[in-house]
Structure 1
Amino acid sequence: MDNYVVRKAGQQDIHPLSLLMQAYIVDFYKCPRPAEESLFGLIQMLYREEEGIQFVAEQNGELVGFATLYFTYSTIKAHKIAIMNDLYVVEGKRGEGVGAGLFQACNSYRMSHDYASMVWDTASSNKRAQAFYKKMGGMPEDWITYSLEDE
């Protein structure tokens, strides 16, 4: 892919990033649309790098992907870790290196900020993502993810 740049999300990205995140949430994962103020609040929090960070991929002035890292700790590692909660590239740009650029930005951030590891989940049905993560050097873990959610 030519002419794209991966960078930390900035204030100028709030509106276009919120649209990209809505496409990821609603169109890709078929989840309910979050309240606009909640989404903007999340983006603002990530911009401040308090509990996480977002990277965006931009081509010709348009955002074509994003990745989100959240910061937490691992008792097992007795160290801080980064959780890559999201990596999304718009349909027409997949397979062109954008995802790899976003992944590498997350991993570089993790290494340069002394996080012991970067972990992530993907849907068991998302075979394309699983192949991508294996290509990036990721290895499936022996853990099973559970959740409790409000209805």
Structure 2
Amino acid sequence: MEQVTIRIAEQRDVENLKKLMHEYIVNFYQSPVPAAGKLDWLIGTLLKGDRGLQFVAENEGELVGFATLYFTFSTTRVANITVMNDLYVLAEGRGKGIAEQLFQTCLAFTKEQGYASMLWETANDNYRAQRFYEKMGATPGDWISYSL
């Protein structure tokens, strides 16, 4: 397992986190380049920590991965929950345990802060991620995800 530092993102991480998120959004998911200022807004919102937060994986001063947790509610559980919206590690860091460290940090935060559960989703064709989540002890849920 690669030894990295997992910590909550800080103001000093903004520029490197923007590069990492751009890689994730545009190159990995092949989504459009975010409009000017959008990543700054999102990162700034998460740095405040009231609607969500980001954990970063740092190796020798470089950010090599991140995970994003959003704070929301579950009506059926009548409780607060977290949604792990992102879990991303640069290609050269994959298979070295970094994703597991980020995942376990998100899960520990969820439990320690008293959230009822942590939910997440992944693309139907992201088999590597699906194997990873199953390795973490997760099972696919009974719900079908839709979007417009």
Q: Which residue of structure 1 lines up, in the alignment, with residue 102 of structure 2?
A: 102
- With normalisation by structure 1, the TM-score equals 0.96
Cα deviation for residue 3 of structure 1 reads: 3.6
Residue in structure 1 matched with residue 40 of structure 2 by the alignment: 40
Give, as a single letter, the amino acid of the residue that structure 2 aligns with 1:10: E
Taking the aligned partners of 1:115 and 1:2, their CA distance within structure 2 comes to 29
Q: Deviations over 1:42-91 (max 9, x none)?
A: 11111111110100000010000000000100000000000000000000
Which residue of the partner structure matches residue 57 of structure 1? 57
Counterpart-to-counterpart distance in 2, 1:37 and 1:114: 33
Gaps of 5+ in 1: none
The separation in 2 between residues aligned to 1:96 and 1:147, in whole angstroms, is 33
Paired with 2:3 and 2:106, the residues of 1 have a C-alpha distance of 20
Q: Which residue of 1 aligns with 2:92?
A: 92
Extract structure 1 runs of 4+ deviating beyond 6 A.
none
- Matching residue of 1:128: 128
**TM-score, normalised with respect to structure 2:** 0.98
RMSD between aligned residues = 0.8
Aligned residue pair count: 148
Tell me the SS of whatever aligns to 1:87: strand
Alpha-carbon shift at residue 20 of structure 1 (Å)? 0.2
> Partners in 2 of 1:39 and 1:2 — Cα distance?
28
SS of match in other structure, 1:13: helix
